[in-house]
Structure 1
């Protein structure tokens, strides 16, 4: 069977007279050179791709646009009839669309049933088109690409996990680079992303506008010397001169920032803590490059860039409270380390507000991310976390960080491309976590993003001069980028969970909850199990901590199980099918506490400062256990003693943070103490009176430790009235060694009447009374001091520290703010 494209060419040339004959006929016009008919379809020619010359061609079918497949014809001849295809073309086309043509002469079949055949072909074309756009629509719905939904192929290694290899991309994505370049203006990190409906793109679509303006300027404006007058009025700036001025200003030091720098030894220690812990999960800087610049930072012969000084201060603000130096010194409720961190964060924030939003570099985005991280670690402006993360996301989208760098901008080195992927992955993590913490939707759930995940490689394997990035390592091999690389695998599921939890409540049916829970479990089971028993080799100059990435990968998935099943806990009493929700809810909270406690045992406090898991998990464990009857024999009540131990672990981790950072949020710790006492009373371990005393004792004992570390001390001196002995002085060590349990005091019970001949009995233990409660029946206490109960005693006056006990314990308003 002959090729239809060859037949069409021969047929089109048969009825065409030779060139010399055409010149001799008619109006005797000069002969023109005959143009050859283009054999490829117009769509393939526009894309500059090879065409198989079928109708429609395989390229148009693969891209989902078969209706655009058209072939050029010779002028004067009618275009080929799409319904009257040749026998060979029809057979080839039908074979690709699975259209059966059976029996005898297919041409007779086509002539008899042309309408039916055409209808079938049109329907199959629509089906092929719909199949091609379904992945695109799915990617628009969940904020990810069709590549994100593709299951990993273990045969192709790490690059095939998320479709990183361009050979694995669909054809329309291969052509995306050329079509999407027009959406970005600028280059490198000074780019600006424009949507398809922006005014700039509308100007580009207006054909002939630019030549018209140039001709108008040359013919009408230049003779009138308008250009000269405009240049004199500074409307046209010397861009090269401005670039030199900006470069010089960027290299200049900032003396106001340098005044906040501590000694080199202290700075080295705090920067090392940041690189050691936080850079193993949130990749913001390239560690070898940073260390090289940091070494030159202390060289007195080189100028200190203000931007690098701001980056160093922001890093120290993140790690200030994580230093091993204990005990801390406090001013009221805030530690000295926390005060320094807040001071550095405020200084960098003020400097950042003065910077240009147009001429920015990579270091400006790094400073913004480290600054946001410092605010979370030090609990600065907690109510603005969601808005701050959203602002970072909008800023990143405006410069096109959410698109694959090779698709939207030119001139980016492999180093810059990989850093853009890492910074975007960090912003995604911040935004999703802030959305979960506040229970509010995230911008990511409605954003189309086709950027590849960061590669699973160490920083030492590439630098600014690398011409090509090394291949990504398998997920089972741990690197500093393992968290970001593997976190992308569950991104689509986390976005779906965010939409589900922040959407209408009527859409939260139990079948969907079970389905999402199973998907979460499957994603957790797919996570690799590194050797988390110890630290790996220090390839980046910092010992690797795979347990840190392992814990965060598990927690960021398990945390969604709790809000998914929480609405169904109270329905358990009326319907036994919700028993599954109780068990899954309890197991998720228990596993997260154990993961955090394992980090605490190794002295890794990163997640304890970055997240509020201790508070939420203690409340979750208490609430699910309180729903069980006291005499129940189910799994949750059987493990009640283990639950108390888990809550003790949460309180211990919270206390460790308070002793390092300060009790600047006393409401959270007071709630945790009260929840523990409430659960102890519910389980019958303590009476309600003793449980209340133990809760208050634990709260006051911790704040008394803060009192012992005051500088200057806020303890008032005892006013010794006549006949009132002064209380014995207490050292700070004695205060720090006080027991956290409720210590009963000796109380004189009922004194029998003298007529009975009885003597004063021994002191009777009154259960549940804390050690700081003054004994009004103690003979050493004067009558003037007997009514002074609890906080009226000047030795235990915690209100001088700013504590509002009515708001913390006696009121319902937990939105307490420090005065």
Structure 2
């Protein structure tokens, strides 16, 4: 059989290619037309951005707090785009707008002008919905990039720092899958087309993904699916962002800087040293199929306490360097110390409950109390509404889970449990107790409890979870009827809350009241507290109920 001339075959091939391209173009246009109405869930996104002065303050708040711990952005690149956005040299890319809105959401909690912060928070909920739509909605293909991972990470931080409600588990799972899709879990050396800039950014982002995934697993109690040991990605280099440019042919660590000088990745590298241990602890805590042995808990706790000491040493200035020593960064030190000690508290809490009946576990009871008090000490200066808040206190008021810090239920319940246990051991829970109030042993016990009760009274002025617990403790110490005292406490607090709501700007406006002190308590939990709550059961609980 005689073959066709080459020119005929070549012409047919060209026609086939042309037809394929035409069909692909028609397909893309049809899909684009079908999703046209779904592309922009918030059409006024650009118009919702606040004035530049407010944005400057919010961005500064984010950069001085979370960016150093969780490296997400290349700051010079972000700021160049930010400056271009205001000069309107060129239209802002959607990816940049997504980053900007999330940075503003996070940074707004640190604004000193609370009215500005509340205005941003009202808009932030719509920003979050728009970002989620862009990430996992019809436009998810546009987010399959380094930019998409950055937006995902910022979204997770925004949801938890602003307590915007809902669960971050779906977002975390989507972030993990996207990280695998673009190969963040692979050593950048094997990405032959990656520039030194992109390789460094990949290493930073992979660590951040692991950190945020671990924190979300801890907050949600869901299994931690990622493991740092399964992927051999080297840590980032300790270089400043200003030394890392997109056009650089190579990246060289700035070796002339001392180890005590804070570089842009120094804190992230410090955290990476304990990452595997923390992931192991979270995995152990969330494993419902088996109980951890006490020996293993002690070993994990001791290892983490070693990292706590290393962390404290990291934030101490080197006295031998005089004026060149770095300043202690209060926010980071308090946040990370709270994070580590919260893990220690969770490890020992099951055994602390058993210490009432088994003396072998008394060390766990003491460790839980010590951890709770250390975390509580980070908000001692908080005195609403009379004093200006530092960054950590602002985070505690606005955040949820780990980001609630010393105002979280874990710390409050840890201190309350110790007080209630002591009172029960002394027999003060029984009004028929006949010990004299001048008994030296009773006075000694009261003096020991005094700092604990003072903490609860201090937090009571700042937070609502402690109200019933503090009321019960006061009733037990005064040998009053617990049920009557707690009902009176609830009546008084409800009247105070009603007065507060009526004074708020949102009262009568028909909109949502932006109450920064509200946590992510579910409606079911509120119903249980105020409607049909079993006060008889609450009047005589045991520590195991906590």
String of CA shifts for 1:195-233, please: whole Å, max 9, x gaps.
xxxxxxxxxxxxxxxxxxxxxxx9999849653343132
1:308 to 96, 112, 137: 96
* Cα pair 1:475 1:486 within 8 Å, conserved: no
Question: What residue is the counterpart of 1:283 in the other structure?
Answer: 71
Going from structure 1 to structure 2, the CA distance change for 1:474 and 1:301 (only over 3 Å counts) comes to: closer
2:209 to 415, 427, 447: 427
| Structure 2 residue 55 is the aligned partner of structure 1 residue 267 | yes
Question: What residue is the counterpart of 1:227 in the other structure?
Answer: 13
Secondary structure at 1:270 match in 2: helix
For 1:270 and 1:685, locate their aligned partners in 2 and report how far apart those are by CA, in whole Å.
50
Going from structure 1 to structure 2, the CA distance change for 1:480 and 1:549 (only over 3 Å counts) comes to: farther
- How far the C-alpha of 1:454 sits from its partner, in A, is 2.8
Question: What residue is the counterpart of 1:168 in the other structure?
Answer: none
* Cα pair 1:531 1:546 within 8 Å, conserved: no
Going from structure 1 to structure 2, the CA distance change for 1:629 and 1:672 (only over 3 Å counts) comes to: closer
Question: What residue is the counterpart of 2:269 in the other structure?
Answer: 485
Alignment of 1:580-599 (within 5 A): 580-597=363-380
- How far the C-alpha of 1:298 sits from its partner, in A, is 0.9
Secondary structure at 1:628 match in 2: helix
Alignment of 1:365-444 (within 5 A): 365-382=149-166, 384-406=167-189, 408-444=190-226
* Cα pair 1:315 1:370 within 8 Å, conserved: yes
For 2:7 and 2:24, locate their aligned partners in 1 and report how far apart those are by CA, in whole Å.
21
**So what's the TM-score if we normalise by structure 1?**
0.52
String of CA shifts for 1:141-189, please: whole Å, max 9, x gaps.
xxxxxxxxxxxxxxxxxxxxxxxxxxxxxxxxxxxxxxxxxxxxxxxxx
Going from structure 1 to structure 2, the CA distance change for 1:712 and 1:705 (only over 3 Å counts) comes to: closer
- How far the C-alpha of 1:695 sits from its partner, in A, is 4.5
* Cα pair 1:310 1:367 within 8 Å, conserved: yes
- How far the C-alpha of 1:680 sits from its partner, in A, is 2.4
Secondary structure at 2:90 match in 1: coil
- How far the C-alpha of 1:477 sits from its partner, in A, is 3.1
* Cα pair 1:435 1:441 within 8 Å, conserved: yes
| Structure 2 residue 413 is the aligned partner of structure 1 residue 619 | yes
Secondary structure at 2:227 match in 1: helix
* Cα pair 1:532 1:547 within 8 Å, conserved: no
2:234 to 420, 427, 452: 452
Larger radius of gyration: 1
* Cα pair 1:445 1:499 within 8 Å, conserved: no
**So what's the TM-score if we normalise by structure 2?**
0.75
* Cα pair 2:149 2:178 within 8 Å, conserved: no
| Structure 2 residue 253 is the aligned partner of structure 1 residue 470 | yes
Going from structure 1 to structure 2, the CA distance change for 1:630 and 1:504 (only over 3 Å counts) comes to: closer
* Cα pair 1:320 1:341 within 8 Å, conserved: no
Question: What residue is the counterpart of 2:293 in the other structure?
Answer: 509
* Cα pair 1:565 1:585 within 8 Å, conserved: yes
For 1:573 and 1:301, locate their aligned partners in 2 and report how far apart those are by CA, in whole Å.
68
Alignment of 1:150-299 (within 5 A): 223=9, 227-234=13-20, 256-299=44-87
Question: What residue is the counterpart of 2:449 in the other structure?
Answer: 640
* Cα pair 1:483 1:553 within 8 Å, conserved: no
- How far the C-alpha of 1:649 sits from its partner, in A, is 4.3
String of CA shifts for 1:448-502, please: whole Å, max 9, x gaps.
1111223333323322233223247665433343331111101121122122222
For 2:362 and 2:280, locate their aligned partners in 1 and report how far apart those are by CA, in whole Å.
25
* Cα pair 2:102 2:155 within 8 Å, conserved: yes
2:360 to 559, 577, 586: 577
Going from structure 1 to structure 2, the CA distance change for 1:474 and 1:582 (only over 3 Å counts) comes to: farther
For 1:285 and 1:447, locate their aligned partners in 2 and report how far apart those are by CA, in whole Å.
25
For 1:711 and 1:435, locate their aligned partners in 2 and report how far apart those are by CA, in whole Å.
35
Going from structure 1 to structure 2, the CA distance change for 1:401 and 1:806 (only over 3 Å counts) comes to: closer
For 1:219 and 1:585, locate their aligned partners in 2 and report how far apart those are by CA, in whole Å.
86
Secondary structure at 2:273 match in 1: helix
String of CA shifts for 1:354-412, please: whole Å, max 9, x gaps.
43526744333222221222122222343x22232222122112221122211x31122
* Cα pair 1:314 1:370 within 8 Å, conserved: yes
Q: Which has the higher helix share?
A: 2
Question: What residue is the counterpart of 1:768 in the other structure?
Answer: none
Going from structure 1 to structure 2, the CA distance change for 1:517 and 1:445 (only over 3 Å counts) comes to: same
Question: What residue is the counterpart of 1:322 in the other structure?
Answer: 110
| Structure 2 residue 115 is the aligned partner of structure 1 residue 342 | no
Secondary structure at 1:683 match in 2: helix
Aligned length: 470
* Cα pair 1:440 1:502 within 8 Å, conserved: yes
- How far the C-alpha of 1:582 sits from its partner, in A, is 0.5
366-375 or 606-615: bigger deviation: 606-615
String of CA shifts for 1:260-286, please: whole Å, max 9, x gaps.
222222222322222232223222112
Question: What residue is the counterpart of 2:37 in the other structure?
Answer: none
For 2:287 and 2:526, locate their aligned partners in 1 and report how far apart those are by CA, in whole Å.
37
Going from structure 1 to structure 2, the CA distance change for 1:460 and 1:706 (only over 3 Å counts) comes to: farther
* Cα pair 1:458 1:479 within 8 Å, conserved: yes
Question: What residue is the counterpart of 1:556 in the other structure?
Answer: 339
Secondary structure at 1:526 match in 2: helix
For 1:296 and 1:709, locate their aligned partners in 2 and report how far apart those are by CA, in whole Å.
37
| Structure 2 residue 485 is the aligned partner of structure 1 residue 693 | no
* Cα pair 1:593 1:617 within 8 Å, conserved: yes
* Cα pair 2:172 2:216 within 8 Å, conserved: yes
Question: What residue is the counterpart of 1:683 in the other structure?
Answer: 477
For 1:704 and 1:327, locate their aligned partners in 2 and report how far apart those are by CA, in whole Å.
19
Alignment of 1:693-712 (within 5 A): 693-711=488-506
What do you get for the CA RMSD once the two structures are aligned? Answer: 3.9
Q: Which runs of 5+ in 2 are unaligned?
A: 33-39, 319-323, 383-387, 427-440, 511-522, 535-546
* Cα pair 2:59 2:107 within 8 Å, conserved: yes
- How far the C-alpha of 1:308 sits from its partner, in A, is 1.7
- How far the C-alpha of 1:436 sits from its partner, in A, is 0.9
For 2:353 and 2:445, locate their aligned partners in 1 and report how far apart those are by CA, in whole Å.
15
For 2:524 and 2:461, locate their aligned partners in 1 and report how far apart those are by CA, in whole Å.
21
For 2:89 and 2:68, locate their aligned partners in 1 and report how far apart those are by CA, in whole Å.
33
* Cα pair 2:58 2:103 within 8 Å, conserved: yes
